[in-house]
């Protein structure tokens, strides 16, 4: 019962604070990219503050984020890392569902920050569009953040990587930094949140230019390093 009270209090405060932050984002976007990133990081820090003091969730970062431009491939168990990783990586382009980018108001804000849309159908046309948008990363010398399993999963689940990851890896020709995490223990997709420590682990970079099977297998194993019963082989 207490866990649900804390969870709903967190949701009310976070989404309540999110409304004015998102509604005023176009003002920052009109000023410039740096202003937009600063605006977004206010939102991220509000989320972090409430998670810490309402839910009792703390963060432990293991490993060191390498400096430079990389493709960051991150495990996805909660909304938590979609915000936290943007702060830790310092303003990357983010690969997200096309439905979010197509939303009337939110979509413009996401594009102003730097978002790459990906469609669920993974058609050739959809992949070409994603790669076209990803070309901005190379032009602007920005890192890219992707959740290669495609969606939030429960603790212990290790689905194969989506086909778009391999295409993005090849097109960007960037080294990959896998990031393992266990946010699902504290902030599961279903059920109330629980106090605890979320571990975010940066692993060693994997070089660009590897064959598809090799890069998928290495990234799949790395991002699932904290899973209690990870298994399976990455596939597209």
pTM, to two decimals: 0.88
Q: Which candidate, 22, 162, 28, places its Cα nearest to that of 103?
A: 22
Tell me which residue of 143, 134, 139 sits closest to 164, measured CA to CA: 134
pLDDT digits (tens, 9 = 90+) for 95-127: 887 777 777 666 667 777 777 777 665 566 667
Residue 232 scores a pLDDT above 50? no
CB of 60 closer than 8 Å to CB of 133: no
pLDDT (mean) for 33-55: 91
* Token duo for residue 147: 């959740």
Task: Decide: 215 and 206 in contact? Cβ < 8 Å.
Answer: yes
β 176-181/71-74 pair status: parallel
* pLDDT tens for each residue of 176-231: 999 999 999 999 988 999 999 999 999 999 999 999 999 999 999 999 999 876 54
């Amino acid at each position: 019962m207490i866990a649900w009270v804390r969870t709903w209090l967190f949701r009310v405060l976070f989404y309540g604070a999110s409304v004015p932050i998102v509604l005023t984002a176009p003002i920052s976007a009109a000023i410039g990219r740096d202003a937009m990133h600063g605006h977004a990081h206010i939102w991220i820090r509000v989320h972090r503050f409430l998670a810490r003091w309402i839910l009792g969730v703390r963060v432990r970062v293991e490993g060191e984020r390498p400096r430079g431009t990389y493709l960051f491939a991150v495990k996805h168990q909660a909304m938590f890392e979609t915000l936290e990783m943007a702060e830790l990586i310092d303003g990357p382009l983010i690969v997200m569902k096309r439905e979010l980018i197509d939303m009337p108001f939110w979509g413009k804000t996401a594009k102003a920050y730097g978002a790459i849309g990906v469609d669920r159908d993974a058609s050739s046309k959809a992949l070409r569009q994603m790669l076209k948008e990803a070309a901005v990363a190379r032009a602007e010398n920005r890192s890219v953040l992707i959740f290669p399993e495609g969606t939030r999963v429960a603790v212990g689940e290790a689905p194969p990587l989506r086909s778009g990851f391999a295409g993005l890896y090849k097109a960007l020709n960037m080294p990959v930094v896998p990031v393992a995490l266990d946010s699902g223990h504290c902030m599961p997709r279903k059920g109330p949140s629980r106090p605890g420590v979320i571990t975010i682990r940066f692993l060693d970079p994997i070089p660009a230019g590897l064959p598809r099977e090799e890069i998928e297998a290495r990234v799949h194993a790395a991002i699932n390093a904290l899973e209690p019963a990870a298994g399976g082989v990455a596939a597209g």
